[in-house]
A and B are shown apart, each in its own frame.
Chain A
Amino acid sequence: MVKLTIDGVEVQVAEGTTILNAARQIGGDLVPPAMCYYTSLKETGGKCRVCLVKVAQTSTKDPRPMPKLVASCRTNVMDGMVVHNITSPEVLEARKGVVEFLLINHPLDCPICDQAGECDLQNLAYEHGAAGTRYEEDRRTFEKIDIGDKIKLHMTRCILCYRCTFVADQLTNDRVHGVLNRGDKSEISTYIQKAIDNDYSGNMIDVCPVGALTDNTFRFKSRVWFTKPLDAHRNCEKCCGKVVLFMKGDEVLRVSARKDQYGEVREFICNECRYGHKKLSDWNVEGPRHIDRNSVISQNHYEQIDLTKLKKEIDRQIDFEKGKPLPQANPPLLT
């Protein structure tokens, strides 16, 4: 076990854990955001740079700070490490810059995009970015591509997190999906429009943090906040069968895998569950899905309140309103 301090909070984690995962073990506001890191996909992370943190002390043995901000999803913890995330203005400033960079080529077509309302980039920009832009040049544009008949690729919206290529690599047998070209010419490619008919290819939609890969069967059907998400399952031979149904009336508009609080799917679902069962009678409904109160999807959705949780949240808000300082990080031992 290794002991480290993140934003003044001490935590003990197993050796080989990344800073990001150590922060997630603490939870709360000090967890760095992540656009490309994905727990259930190997080798992801290190591309989007939004999880940058400051390491004020590398370890007990080597008390020097790390020279630059590091990507917390790719940096392993060391004993006695002191990490600053939201307590460091430098990190917040850098993150704001990263968000601005991510938005340089991102079209602001959220009113059209099907991902709006459940988009990681939208949330990230709302929390960390500036409202305006300083970019004056034309944004790069691409033609829309159909990957198979079920997935639509809007390359224009892509932020090159590479998650979908890892899905293609790790969940499917053939590599039919990769990134071509370099720099701002980079492009998710389907290897000459080869249709993806692998059983798990639909998960590319779920892992995409933006609206670059969207469900063609859900295209423009409804805004996500007009749907009622239900937890449901069915006996599936290929996958776990645990899904979320996005309902409108009695109609199943879309089926997706269940995402955890960090927007990551832990149990991937097969294409048959995703596209093949659009009738409510095919599913065993468990109940309405819990939607975070910060999400626009929770608009006009009602659920039973957990009073203890609500009290905690109210206390937190009151503390925040009072301007209570966040826990101070330990001062470095040597300067």
Chain B
Amino acid sequence: MLTNRSKLVVKKDMTFWERIYLPAILSGISITIKHLFRKSATVRYPEKKREISAIWRGQHVLKRDENGAERCTACGLCAVACPAEAITMVAAERKKGEEALYREEKYAASYEINMLRCIFCGLCEEACPKEAIFLTDRIVSTDYGRGQFIYDKSKLVEPVDKRIDVSKRQTSAVLEFKKLKYFSHNK
């Protein structure tokens, strides 16, 4: 015997009470009725949303700087940090006259995150030297196909007129650290 939890099955005829099934049905219905008066374990999403943690890691955003230029410089550190290998990018050189669009002389011509691969660990955010990528409190929406889950720049970069607040993502310890003069070269 491999386990002490095995049960010997005996096939014997049912008694009269067992054969009419009524007691079993009644006990089942009583359990169901009991649950009707209990507090429900689920919420009616999306009409009602559950409160989420302040450091919730949801859909990514590619931030713009104060002037509206994209911060991402396609350095590839997020992609190399990504344990799920969900991030791919193609870099391009900024041309003259595009200074208002891209902050650095190199920018991401394409930047894609495969949301099916992503495990929302936040390592990309941690690796980013330019404070470009952040995980926000938004939830990645569902869809019927797989292709729609490959988010490109049109879904990731924040709109200029509709900025996405990530101030919660930067704890006071991080903000304090950034003030250190010693690391001013990181700007």
Contacts and interface: CB of A to CB of B under 8 A. Distances in A.
Partners in one complex: yes
Contacts of A299: 80
Contact of A111 (B77, B85, B92, B184): B77
Interface string B72-108: 0111110110000100000111000000000011100
B185 A108 contact: yes
B130 interface: yes
Interface stretch (A48-56, A67-75, A215-223, A284-292): A215-223
B76 A223 contact: yes
A131 B183 contact: yes
Interface string B169-184: 0000000000010111
B85 A300 contact: yes
A110 B75 contact: yes
B75 A219 contact: no
Nearest to B128: A111
A111 B73 contact: yes
A215 to B, nearest CB: 14
B28 to A, nearest CB: 54
Interface of B is mostly: mixed
A281 interface: no
A229 B106 CA distance: 24
A226 interface: yes
Given A220-B106, A225-B76, A226-B79, A111 B93 contact: no
A133 interface: yes
Interface in A204-229: 219-223, 225-226
Given A220-B92, A299-B80, A111 B104 contact: yes
Given A133-B182, A133-B185, A220-B92, A112 B77 contact: no
A220 B75 contact: no
Contacts of A132: 180, 182-183, 185
Contacts of B141: none
Contact of A219 (B76, B93, B130): B93
Contacts of A110: 75, 129
B129 A111 contact: yes
B3 interface: no
Contacts of A108: 185-186
Contacts of A300: 80, 85
Interface string A133-144: 111000000000
B91 A222 contact: yes
B93 to A, nearest CB: 5
Contacts of B129: 110-111
A116 interface: yes
A222 B110 CA distance: 12
Given A131-B183, A133-B182, A133-B184, A220 B77 contact: no
Contacts of A86: none
A41 interface: no
Contacts of A240: none
A296 interface: yes
Contacts of A219: 93
B93 A220 contact: yes
Contacts of B79: 223, 226
Nearest to A109: B104
Interface string A110-121: 111000100000
Contacts of A221: 91
Contact of A112 (B104, B180, B184, B186): B104
Contact of B75 (A111, A133, A134): A111
Given A112-B75, A223-B75, A296 B80 contact: yes
Nearest to B93: A220
A131 B93 CA distance: 29
Contacts of B74: 220
Given A116-B75, A135-B185, 9 more contacts: A109-B104, A111-B104, A112-B75, A112-B105, A134-B182, A220-B74, A220-B93, A222-B91, A226-B76
Interface of B: 73-77, 79-80, 85, 91-93, 104-106, 129-130, 180, 182-186
20 contacts: A108-B186, A110-B129, A111-B73, A111-B129, A112-B75, A112-B104, A112-B105, A116-B75, A131-B183, A132-B182, A133-B182, A133-B185, A134-B182, A220-B93, A223-B75, A223-B91, A226-B76, A296-B80, A299-B80, A300-B85
